[in-house]
């Protein structure tokens, strides 16, 4: 087991990439704290963690605030005694016409940057001291191909680009102290958020959305949440012990099409 004895936090762990990652971490031996706002879906993730043979816990709160981020880290340490891995996965999409986002509202801009980028800073801020006490750790930030091309909207792209820049800056500072920071950038993926499941889309509408995604990708299909989870597991475990400050793009070839 690649994460045996490790303690991890997965933000936004109630669905999509976060849920798949939490389950894979459990299968690899990690104890997992799911930090999320959705109690029902969060409890389901914890149940999946336990079914996978490990221990899980749910922390409800807004991790884009200092209080919420600190509570998530404190809960991991109090319940499981340490913190080794942080996955900053929580995020929201920019809705509306993606071809006209330069004049997005100030409220939308601030919300996208707060949830998608500020949460990465805050959770890392409180997690890093715990990892230093442990003698090292790994932070994996979920960015997006939107950081490198014009998809998803201006606020979303700015937030995801900020994640990559933050990860590079902090990874350089912490490399001598054995805390690694890397990013995974998903392309067009099948998740409850991207299909519209969480916003009430019908199964037919969800499949049409995935067909549109697949038509854009050289591999001719949308990716799966497990594709992202596997990349995160690699960056979290000791197999990547000499990898820091890097971005793994998981996009079916979209950026090189």
Tell whether pTM > 0.75: yes
The domain locations on the chain are 7-191+224-249
Output the pLDDT for position 1.
93
HEC-encoded secondary structure of the chain: CCCCCCEEEEECCCCHHHHHHHHHHHHCCCEEEEEECCHHHHHHHHHHHHHCCCCEEEEECCCCCHHHHHHHHHHHHHHHCCCCEEEECCCCCCCCCCCCCCCCCHHHHHHHHHHHHHHHHHHHHHHHHHHHHHCCEEEEEECCHHHCCCCCCHHHHHHHHHHHHHHHHHHHHHHHHCEEEEEEEECCEECHHHHCHHHCCCHHHHHHHHHHHHHHCCCCCCEEHHHHHHHHHHHHCHHHCCCCCCEEEECCCHHHC
Read off the pLDDT of residues 166-203 as tens digits, 9 standing for 90 and up: 999 999 999 999 999 999 999 999 888 788 887 788 99
**Span 15-36, pLDDT tens digits:** 999 999 999 999 999 999 999 9
Residues annotated as part of the active site: 156
d(C-alpha 83, C-alpha 78), whole Å: 10
Whether residue 221 is predicted with pLDDT greater than 90 in this model: the reply is yes
Average pLDDT score over the chain: 95
If pLDDT is split at 50, 70 and 90, which confidence band does 45 have? very high
**How confident is the model at residue 98, as a pLDDT?**
54
Our measurement of the distance from residue 202's CA atom to the centroid of its chain's CA atoms, rounded to an integer in Å, reads: 26
Q: Per the structure block, which two tokens stand in for 252? A: 């079916």
Asked whether the predicted pLDDT for residue 99 surpasses 90, the reply is: no
pLDDT tens, residue by residue, 110-162: 999 999 999 999 999 999 999 999 999 999 999 999 999 999 999 999 999 99
CATH 3.40.50.720 is right for the domain spanning 7-191+224-249: yes
Cα–Cα dist 46/48, whole Å: 5
* For residues 94-123, average pLDDT: 87
pLDDT for position 199: 75
């Amino acid at each position: 087991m690649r994460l045996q004895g490790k303690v991890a936090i997965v933000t936004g762990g109630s669905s999509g990439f976060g849920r798949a990652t939490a389950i894979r971490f459990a299968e690899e031996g990690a104890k997992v704290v799911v930090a999320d706002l959705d109690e029902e879906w969060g409890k389901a993730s914890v149940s999946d963690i336990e079914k996978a043979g490990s221990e899980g816990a749910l922390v409800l709160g807004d991790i884009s605030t200092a209080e919420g981020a600190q509570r998530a880290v404190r809960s991991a340490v109090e319940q499981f005694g340490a913190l080794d891995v942080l996955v900053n996965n929580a995020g929201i999409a920019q809705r509306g016409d993606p071809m006209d986002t330069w004049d997005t509202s100030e409220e939308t801009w601030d919300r996208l940057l707060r949830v998608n980028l500020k949460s990465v800073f805050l959770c890392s801020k409180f997690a890093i001291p715990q990892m230093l006490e442990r003698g090292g750790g790994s932070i994996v930030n979920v960015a997006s191909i939107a950081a490198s091309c014009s998809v998803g909207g201006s606020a979303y792209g700015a937030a995801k680009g900020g994640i990559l820049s933050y990860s590079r800056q902090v990874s350089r500072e912490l490399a001598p102290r054995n805390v690694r920071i890397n990013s995974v950038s998903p392309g067009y993926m099948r998740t409850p958020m991207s299909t519209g499941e969480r916003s009430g889309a019908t199964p037919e509408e969800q499949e049409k959305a995935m067909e549109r995604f697949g038509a854009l990708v050289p591999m001719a299909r949308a990716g799966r949440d497990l594709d992202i989870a596997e990349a995160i597991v690699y960056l979290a475990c000791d197999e990547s012990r000499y990898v820091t400050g890097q971005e793994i793009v998981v996009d079916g070839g979209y950026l090189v099409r």
